[in-house]
Structure 1
Amino acid sequence: MIIRALLLSLALLLPAAAQEAYPSRPVQLIIPYPPGGNTDLMARALQAELSRALGVSVVGVNRGGAAGAIGNAEVARARPDGLTIGVSPNNAITTQPFLQATPYQADGFRYICQFYDNPQVVILGRNAPFSDLRGMIAFARTGKEALVYGAPGQGSTQHILFAQLLRAAGVDGLMVSYTGAGPMAAAALGGTIMAFAESASIPASTGLQALAVLADRRMPGLPEVPTSAELGMPMNGSTYGGLLAPLGLPDAMAAVLERACEAAVASEGFRNAAERLNAGPSFLPGAAFRARFLAEAAVNRTLLQELGLSNR
């Protein structure tokens, strides 16, 4: 009877012990864009340090397509067991639900942490018929849709920023859509597109030339590149993002992931990797990260309605 009582007590304690052991298995990290783009590069930079902080392998899996909606939908419908999480930039959550029928909204995730914030830059494609930002605007004036530029999807952050830049200069261009920054950078290297806007990690990883930083001040990693404000076209735009999980993730698991994210962002390994990509490590805890995304989603909904791009 004593032995039976002991065994029963142990059985009752097992679920609690299992919870305390989280994570005890590898964690899958969904990256909602193809390899080679900014989101993929930032996720890979964090991956090793996040694995170290959690004590288990974090396995990155690319699920590109639909401007990030395919991968984020997979995260949203995953089991909230802490074994599937995702990384997403702002646009896929704060803009795409107003442009296409996504199976998620900005409030449909458990927010873990923000870990990067990257100003956008205008990047020159190889064999383009101009060599600076003023030359790009002058070329755009030579004919309707003479300027061919890229963007990772209709309504992406980069599409909106580039269209605003051209509109402010009183010109237009022909936008060519790509599934992500990696394929778009490959097109620029091949001379298919003349210019595009993306994070500074792209010129750092491809050797393409940056023409201007869309910010008020120059970037430390690109001290020779002028700001758009210096060139008479003031504009601010950044891509920032972080880790997400399905709704229903237990608070205890979310806390473990948030602490691991904070440790990873503070690590020398991540900061060195981010510096090589001209990227900005920027940690926010889950609550502040969620508030930032939801506030941007509210602004973008109104903006897209004004531009005639919103689906609702």
Structure 2
Amino acid sequence: MQSTPATTTTKYPDKPITVIVPFSAGGGLDLTARSLEKLAPKYLGQPLIVVNKPGGAGAIGWGELAGASPDGYTVGITGIDMLLLPLYGSAKYDYPTALTPIAQVAASPMVLAVQANKPWQTLDDLIKYAKKNPGELKFGHGGVGSFPHLLGEMFGQAASITIEQVPFSGAGEATAALLGGHVQLSFVNPMVVKEHMKNGTVRVLAVTGEQRISDPVLAQVPTFKEQGLDVILTNWYGVAVPKEMPVQVKNKLSEGFKAIITDPEFVKSMSNVGLKVEYLGPQESQTKWLADSQKLTKTLQDTGVLEKIKSQRK
């Protein structure tokens, strides 16, 4: 270790930085945090300590982040669910105003996955089955009001089918339930099911993005749009901090994370888990939060999900 000359102010950061992941290990937010962790010492000068705080569809972890000291030693991984929770009135904070984005790291559509031993080869097969057997299909997701739950409701409405919703405490658990045959379908992160597709345990029937996924394993999977269904929404992952952070600390974090995210080694590490790096700076991220918030509000109202969730919570 080289000794640094003493300065009158403490050099930031001078200790490890905690990064809160508001879901269990193995999901998209968790894998993003673990990829960032690898390069943090190089660009931030300190390690990142990943802490998983699952529960409440993300509300527990994001609530802790919003209430943390804005000293730069607590950051959190964000996803599109963060915009949804305040709309349900289920969050202690309005995250888009209680948090400040540092960067968008990546963007990813979700995929509709079923067990490969099931008879449905296409989305059409699944829809026909659901119409013949209403209410028989169970749909697993990471919590009431979570992004995958919203996609499940959108799919049910777009296809005019009835699906039973089964909430779990996170994406990892929902995927395990799908693999175990406890639920028949789930909207999951493509990177989470990629290995299961390769080894033949999972079949993917549709993608929620505007375009197909470029990854060779998933490239043959058509979008919902191609199959005539309006289920088009993309998840994203970012880094955010509590609102009142001093400008110099925020700038140091913004620069550090930008350097990590644009490093070819990081891009490759994300690509290995099926995630496409799409860096946005603090200002562009803020603009995106706003635009997506409006789109989600409209979707929630149009699908009747908002009413459903509010009545479920009573």
User: TM-score, normalised to structure 1's length?
Assistant: 0.89
Please state if 1:163 is matched with 2:157.
Answer: no
Instruction: Give the 3-state SS of the residue equivalent to 1:60 in structure 2.
Output: strand
The residue aligned with 2:3 is: none
Q: Deviations over 1:159-180 (max 9, x none)?
A: 1122212211111110111111
* 1:91-130 equivalences in 2 (<5 Å): 91=81, 93-105=82-94, 106-125=96-115, 127-130=117-120
Aligned equivalents of 1:74, 1:176: Cα separation in 2: 26
Mark the CA change 1:236 to 1:126 in structure 2 (over 3 Å): closer, same or farther: same
Cα distance between partner residues in 2 of 1:289 and 1:102: 21
Partner of 2:72: 82
Aligned residue among 46, 51, 58 for 1:61: 51
Cα 1:107–1:257 change in 2 (3 A) is same
- Which consecutive unaligned segments of at least 5 residues does structure 2 have? 1-5
State the distance in 2 between where 1:100 and 1:129 align.
Answer: 40
Relative distance call for 1:51 and 1:204 in structure 2 (3 A) is farther
- The letter for the 2-side match of 1:88 is T
Q: Structure 2 length as normaliser, TM-score?
A: 0.88
TM-fit CA distance, 1:137? 0.7
Letter in 2 for 1:229: K
Rate the CA distance shift 1:218–1:304 in 2: closer, same or farther, 3 A: closer
Match of 1:243 among 219, 229, 239: 239
Identity of aligned residues (%): 27
Say whether residues 1:224 and 2:220 are aligned partners: yes
Equivalences, count: 296
Distance 1:256 1:178, change over 3 A: same
Q: Any gaps of 5 or more consecutive residues in structure 1? A: 1-10
Residue in structure 1 matched with residue 62 of structure 2 by the alignment: 72
Larger Rg: 1
Residues 114-263 of structure 1: matches in 2 within 5 Å?
A: 114-125=104-115, 127-207=117-197, 208-221=202-215, 222-263=218-259
Structure 1 residue identity aligned to 2:292:
E
Moved more, 227-236 or 169-178: 227-236
> Which one is further off, 95-104 or 239-248?
95-104
3-state SS, counterpart of residue 114 of structure 1: strand
What does residue 277 of structure 1 align with? 273
Is the 8 Å Cα contact of residues 140 and 172 (structure 1) preserved in structure 2? yes
TM-superposition CA deviations, 1:267-301 (whole Å, max 9, x none): 12221121122211011111211221133224433
C-alpha RMSD of matched pairs (Å):
2.0
Task: Check conservation: 2:105, 2:280, Cα contact below 8 A.
Answer: yes
CA contact (8 A) 1:124 1:209 kept: yes
Residue 311 (structure 1) shift: 4.8
The correspondence for 1:264, drawn from 260, 264, 267, is 260
Contact 1:66 1:179 in 2 (8 A): yes
CA drift at 1:131? 3.0
Q: Structure 2 vs 1, CA of residues 147 and 129 (structure 1 numbering), >3 Å: closer, same or farther? A: farther
Cα drift, residue 191 of structure 1: 0.8
